[in-house]
Chains A and B, each alone.
Chain A
Amino acid sequence: MSALLEVEGLRSGYGPVEVLHGVDLTVNAGEIVVLLGSNGAGKSTLNNTLCGLCRRREGTVRFDGQDLTGRHYRDVVRAGLIQVPEGRRVFPNLSVRENLELGSFARARARRAANLEKVLDIFPRLRERLMQLAGTMSGGEQQMLAIGRGLMAEPRLLILDEPSLGLSPLMVEELFGLILRLHGDGLSILLVEQNVAQSLEIGQRAYVLENGMVRHSGACPDLLASDDVRRAYLGV
C-alpha cells in the first residue's frame, strides 16, 4: 500500500488562535480512514487546511505524489482531493442537475455527461428529482446530492465531513452502505464522523484528534476495543 495523502506537522488556525498544533496523518490508497474527536477538537479545521480553505502555518501536505502545501483550493480540487462539507452546503436555489454539474467545474469537466449518468445510477432518487430545487429536498436527499456533487469531480480521495448529521437511522444505514460500495469500487475515503461505533466498523484505520493534536491512532478494531477511546467517545 502506498500513501495517497501524507500530512506532517500541520499547524493552522484563525487569527491569533492556533487550532492544529502539529498533526501527522496518512491515508493510503484504497483505505477508509476515520477521523474522530469532540466538537472543537479541530477536525473541520484539519479538513479545511488540507483543502486550502484555511491557511496552514507550518507542516507539509503531500497528495498523490504532489506537494500541495499551502496551495490554492483550486489546485487541491484539480489534484482530486475533494471535500463533501459538513452541513451539505448544496446551492438551495439551483436544481439538482445544476448542483451536480458544478461538482465538475474545476475537474473532470470533459467527462461531465458520463459522470452525471454514473452518479444518477448510484443515487436513483436524484434522477427522479433532477429538475427540483435542491433546497426543497429533505436532509437525506441533500446529503446524497452533496456526495454526488463530490463524485462528479472524480475524486482520488473523498473527504466526508459528518455525512450522517441529522439523518434518520435508516438513512444512516443506507449512507454507510453507500460508503462501503464506493470504497469497494476503489475510492479512498477520509471519514469524519460522530457516529463513532458505526464508523469504526467500516473503516480500516482511525485517528482521534484532541485539542488540535492526534491523541490516538491505529487500526479500527483496536480503537473500538481501547478503553480510553470507549470512555472518551463512545460514552460507555
Chain B
Amino acid sequence: MSEALLQARNLSVAFGGLKAVQDVSLDVPQGSLTALVGPNGAGKTTLFALLSGFLKPDSGSVHFLGRNITGHAPHESARLGLTRTFQVVQPFGAQTVRQNIAVGAHLRLADRREALALAESVAVRVNLGAVLDKPAADLTVAGRKRLELARALATRPRLLLLDEVLAGLNPSEIEEMIPVVRNLVDEGVTVLMIEHVMRAVMSLAEQVWVLAQGCLIASGPPSEVTRDPGVVEAYLGHGAAARLAARGARG
C-alpha cells in the first residue's frame, strides 16, 4: 500500500457527556477511494469535521501530506488540498451554477475570468455543463448534489471528503453519479466518502471503515466488512446483508 495521504491518530471529541468520536485512527492511502459507513448518529460527519478542521479534537492528531494539521482552520486545510462537501447542500440560490463553482475556484485563483473558466471545466467533469447559466435554486436535488461536488473540486483538492453525495438520488441517478466519482479518482483525486448507498460503496470503495457509537468497529474490503456479524448487527441489518450477498453471488 502506498504511503498515507491522511493519517488520523486516536481522535476523540465529546459534546458534553456524549462521546461522539472515540479513539479513532485511520490511514487514507494516496490515490485511493475509501468509504466511511455506520448507523445514523455514529459520528461519521463529526469525524469528517475533525479531519477537515471544522472541529478541534479533544485529543489525537491529524496529519495530511506529512504535516500536522490538527486544529488548523478549514481554509488552511483546503489550501493544502483537503476539501469536504456537506450533506445538506447550500448553494447561493440566486447565483448561477458557474458563479457558485467559481467560489471554490477563488481559493487558488484571484482572477475572476480564470475562476469562471475553471468553473466551466469543472462543471463539465460532473455533467453540469448544460446548466452553467441557470440559477442554482432551479436545480433539482440531483443537480445540487453535483454542484456541491463541483464547488469542492474547484478548490483543486488532493483529498476530497464526500458527505453523502448520493443521498436523495433515485437508483438511476445513483448509477449516473458512480462513474463521476470513479473518474475523479482516475484523475488523481483521493476520495473518502460517507455513504449509506451500499451498492455504490460495494462497487466503488477499496476499503471501508465502519463507525458505530463513535468507535471504529471494523475495516477492510467491502465484501469482507459487509459479512462481519458485528457490522450486520449494528449497521446493515439482515435484510440488506442478504441482498448484498445475493448481488455478490450473481457477480
Which residues does A use to contact B, with CB under 8 Å? 36-40, 137-141, 162, 165-174, 194, 196-197, 231-236
CB <8 Å contact, B172 and A233: yes
Question: 0/1 per residue, B226-251, Cβ < 8 Å to A?
Answer: 00000000111111100000000000
CA distance A139 to B169 in the complex (A): 17
Query: 5 extra interchain contacts, Cβ-Cβ under 8 A, other than A168-B37, A235-B171?
Result: A38-B142, A169-B236, A169-B239, A234-B171, A235-B174
User: In the complex, how many residues of chain B place their beta carbon closer than 8 angstroms to a beta carbon of chain A?
Assistant: 29
Q: List 5 A-B contacts (CB under 8 A).
A: A38-B140, A40-B140, A141-B40, A166-B167, A169-B196
Report chain A residues within 8 Å CB of B236.
168-170
Q: Which of B37, B170, B196, B239 is in CB contact (< 8 Å) with A233?
A: B170
Please determine whether A139 and B41 come into contact, CB atoms closer than 8 angstroms. Answer: yes
Chain A CB within 8 A of B220 CB:
no
Given contacts A169-B198, A171-B39, are A196 and B170 in contact (CB under 8 A)? yes
Report the Cα distance A41→B143, complex, angstroms. Answer: 13
Q: Which residues of B have CB within 8 Å of A141?
A: 40-41
Within 8 A of A (CB), among B32-74: 37-41
Decide: A39 near B173, CB < 8 A? Known: A167-B40, A171-B39: yes
B168 within 8 A of A: yes
Verify B172–A166 contact, CB threshold 8 A: no
Q: CB within 8 A of B170: which of A39, A169, A174, A231?
A: A39
- Closest CB in chain B relative to A47 CB, distance in Å: 15
Given A232-B172, A233-B172, do A166 and B87 touch, yes or no (CB 8 Å)?
A: yes
- B237 & A169 in contact (Cβ 8 Å cutoff): yes
Instruction: Kindly provide the distance from the CB of A138 to the nearest chain B CB, expressed in whole angstroms.
Output: 3
* Docked-complex contact A39 and B240, CB < 8 angstroms: no
8 residue pairs, one from A and one from B, having the closest CB atoms: A138-B41, A170-B237, A169-B240, A140-B40, A40-B140, A235-B175, A235-B171, A173-B237
A140-B39 CB under 8 A given contacts A166-B164, A170-B235: yes
Is B124 positioned at the interface, with any CB of A under 8 Å from its CB? no
